[in-house]
Structure 1
């Protein structure tokens, strides 16, 4: 690993000759009060060989264990948590408690959310920001340049990169080649064709589906983001949510229509009922690239037969930009309070760029070399029908840039308002005002100026 060979001895301690005193940081908890010129932030006194604590969700635990096996000389304590899934806020809540006590911070944290940098990069009540800036000397420019263009943009604040993207999660159109052949259907390329397929499928093959709207990440990121619906937009500190935009209205109507004819269901794609009732009835379904491993190759989920499913180019509105949504793509954060930053660096390089991590990733790695390894492995396995690699690569470069990354998740409002409304037999259109109000209230609570 490059991190193991980069002036390690000189970077063990923030010495007086390698640091600049910054009065504004002198009282910050967890740091030395001096900016280490090698790292670009105030570091804690370094303890070479000390154990690093790494927080991961269950899906990333194998990567952490692979690192432990490959680096027996690096002491590591692996702890699992919910990964901040669904915008739970657990990451921020736990860090706030450590900020109050002035100790206990983990060295590395994985989060499923791409918006944590909005708070993790900020000093809180005089305590240095949890997330360490990574492009001020901590990681080499060559290493950072290895990430896919734009991959780390959501974690970039005022020119500083505060997190490393684990994987890209662009939305593609998953399709069941065997069912399409059996029914004589073509792969839809636009939202309009997708909607028309829903009407045709409902009439000719009731019980077969084109997806689910029962997950908060699907309703928001897959459909509304993919539709260029500006319901979650951020400009500086100004947040806006426009459900009257034609793209927003059209997507709401599409979802309500397909839910009414039964081609969109309410079961979570990760639920037992979905797996039991619909695994062999999915004709097509827009979803993130990581469905590859999380659903279709997962023995506890859809567990499809090789050659059944393929990935096609993302859906778009006819005559408009060919863009798509994005569902997460986890992020690795390094703690600015860590006492073993060299070990943290070694771990993060392994987790994001190594061949081992690429092989364990369920989705498209954000690091280019790892992405190539992953895509080639998928192609060589011949598990997916069609040109899987081309579709995923196109989607990765087509994510719509109008979606915002504030300090809260769009998933919480969808889960609180839309999901229970659907269960009660209401339409999305019925609760749009309440849904929008919930989003705007969350923005206000977080301190944003609301339009």
Structure 2
């Protein structure tokens, strides 16, 4: 999915001040995008010895989501000599179309923006063989300035994509309500659980988390380091839902779901929006984009100005690092079939590093210097009770490295197994054995050795 739910969610988000900011990050956003008529970019951009051949006169076919479309158009306007054809695509049909292009030997986009970061494993898999290594196309100093942001783009020592943005998790909280009730923002997950017990007794109906959607995978399991998709080598993966880093998430959340301090509905369900509008959301551990895309929009929480703030993520007992999860963060991929690879690489480098573009972007830029420029927007935003950027910046380098991209659908498995268990009242712990079985079967079917 990312993302099936994330893309669907962002299709319904409108900015508080009437600016529609659509987030198309996955394969389930049919309401956002247009079906793409295949346009051949030609095939064979590399020689057998791996050297790159390029024709700067070749038109670059760009496939993007609607949100990034404006950035590509901005690049085109600033670089009129670069020939580009920019199209939005149907996320539901993306994999099908790519497989068709592989069969017919034509049609691949030269540049692909994919809102699902984890899908880079599919673009590099020999069965798809789409992504071009970028190591010789993107200067070393540029790659270095991304820090660890491009780690999901790296396989066997080669860089296959550039991250557009980060979706590191932070602790969002309503400062006004927390101060009124005399609560402190938890620094550990034990403190978080204790706060939930207090809230359930002292202010029933208020919540400090959500566990009824795919987002609980990113917000809790990923941050905990649960080995749901821990890649240990080429086509090797470690999956162990009995690992304490998995079971402690269930031990944390199940009692809180039962006492009502963590809701069993999803972040973007109508019931959740109603809780937000009623001012019942005290806290939400979640993506760095929740402030702008959940708390702020009129049609979602519609939170008044000056109430929402962000804090660093809690840490687990015995651990010194307060790890984050990752809830999105799109990638730019250059096709190995492109006849104009250097041109394509220049475009995605501009899209990820240009301050002119990234400083106005809706989400936290993956490129370090651009993130600094982007921070200026948040600092002047009166919606926030305090500047949330320091917490985002702290967590940007703390995305738990246990999780890695795989070419099978982990998000779909989680959504089909864990989410229904939560919503039915059975809880998380009751679903972990079934999730283990589903993931192992998916991995083996896709050619992985499960360790």
Name the TM-score, length of structure 1 as normaliser: 0.84
Post-superposition offset of 1:238:
2.4
Please list the CA deviations of residues 294-329 of structure 1 after superposition, one character each: whole Å capped at 9, or x if unmatched. 223444433433321111011111331322222222
Report if aligned partners of 1:63, 1:360 keep a CA contact under 8 Å in 2: no
Whether 2:341 is the aligned partner of 1:341: answer yes
Out of 85, 102, 105, the position equivalent to 1:77 is 85
Name the TM-score, length of structure 2 as normaliser: 0.84
Report if aligned partners of 1:230, 1:243 keep a CA contact under 8 Å in 2: yes
CA distance in 1, matches of 2:153, 2:46: 24
The gaps in structure 2 that reach 5 residues or longer are: 1-41
Aligned to 2:119: 116
Query: CA separation of 1:345/1:245 partners in 2, compared to 1, >3 Å: closer, same or farther?
Result: closer
Whether 2:53 is the aligned partner of 1:55: answer no
Report if aligned partners of 2:190, 2:316 keep a CA contact under 8 Å in 1: yes
Please list the CA deviations of residues 317-344 of structure 1 after superposition, one character each: whole Å capped at 9, or x if unmatched. 1331322222222111011212333442
Please list the CA deviations of residues 115-159 of structure 1 after superposition, one character each: whole Å capped at 9, or x if unmatched. 3332322444xx8x31111112x1222322221x11112111222
The gaps in structure 1 that reach 5 residues or longer are: 1-28
CA distance in 2, matches of 1:212, 1:339: 47
> 3-state SS of the aligned residue for 2:207?
coil
Whether 2:149 is the aligned partner of 1:151: answer yes
Aligned to 1:351: 351
Aligned to 2:189: 191
Whether 2:241 is the aligned partner of 1:233: answer no
Which of these two proteins has the greater Rg computed from alpha carbons? 1
CA distance in 1, matches of 2:256, 2:384: 26
Whether 2:216 is the aligned partner of 1:222: answer no
Report if aligned partners of 2:275, 2:281 keep a CA contact under 8 Å in 1: no
CA distance in 2, matches of 1:55, 1:135: 22
CA distance in 2, matches of 1:415, 1:314: 24
Report if aligned partners of 1:114, 1:328 keep a CA contact under 8 Å in 2: yes
CA distance in 1, matches of 2:188, 2:47: 55
Query: CA separation of 1:448/1:298 partners in 2, compared to 1, >3 Å: closer, same or farther?
Result: same
Please list the CA deviations of residues 260-282 of structure 1 after superposition, one character each: whole Å capped at 9, or x if unmatched. 11222233322333223324221
Aligned to 1:312: 311
Aligned to 2:408: 408
CA distance in 2, matches of 1:337, 1:415: 34
Report if aligned partners of 2:148, 2:397 keep a CA contact under 8 Å in 1: no
Report if aligned partners of 1:291, 1:362 keep a CA contact under 8 Å in 2: no
CA distance in 2, matches of 1:30, 1:364: 34
Aligned to 2:287: 288
Alignment of 1:131-142 (within 5 A): 131-136=131-136, 138-142=137-141
Alignment of 1:360-375 (within 5 A): 360-375=360-375
> 3-state SS of the aligned residue for 2:408?
coil
- Give the CA RMSD over aligned residues: 2.3
CA distance in 2, matches of 1:408, 1:246: 24
Post-superposition offset of 1:405:
2.2
CA distance in 1, matches of 2:171, 2:90: 28
Out of 77, 100, 104, the position equivalent to 1:101 is 104
Query: CA separation of 1:366/1:233 partners in 2, compared to 1, >3 Å: closer, same or farther?
Result: same
Post-superposition offset of 1:425:
2.7
Report if aligned partners of 2:212, 2:265 keep a CA contact under 8 Å in 1: yes
Report if aligned partners of 2:44, 2:339 keep a CA contact under 8 Å in 1: no
Aligned to 1:24: none
CA distance in 2, matches of 1:300, 1:50: 44
Aligned to 1:34: 47
Query: CA separation of 1:161/1:91 partners in 2, compared to 1, >3 Å: closer, same or farther?
Result: farther
